Amino acid sequence: MNQKEEAVPDPARAALEQQLMQDPRFPARPVWWHEGTVLAVGMINDGGVKDKAAEDVCQLLHQQGLNNTSVEVYDLLKIQQDDDWNLIGKASCR
């Protein structure tokens, strides 16, 4: 059976975005939600893989009781300069 994932409710999204605003690693506003279940955040690419940062965002989601999401981290400067969504990290929050 193929179940459609349930989108993260707007209040939970807003609360998470407020938390991310406190973390200087995530300077991009807004964050992006794909179909309400995949959270995309922008970070400065220093050459390292950003899976740990994505896992940290998963922990924030888990604190709100949300465990049916994924986090993707994109190179912020590539998006701003070239509209190139270069994936530099990811985590499953399941």
CATH for 25: 3.30.300
Is 4 domain-assigned? no
Written in H, E and C, the secondary structure of the chain is CCCCCCCCCHHHHHHHHHHHHCCCCCCCCCCEEECCCEEEEEECCCCCCCHHHHHHHHHHHHHCCCCCCEEEEEEHHHHHHHCCCCEEEEEECC
- Tell me, yes or no, whether 55 lies in a domain: yes
Instruction: For residue 39, tell me if it sits in a domain.
Output: yes
Residue 86 lies in a domain: yes
What is the total count of domains within the chain? 1
Mean pLDDT split into 10-residue runs, the chain, 94 residues? 65 87 84 87 94 96 90 94 94 95
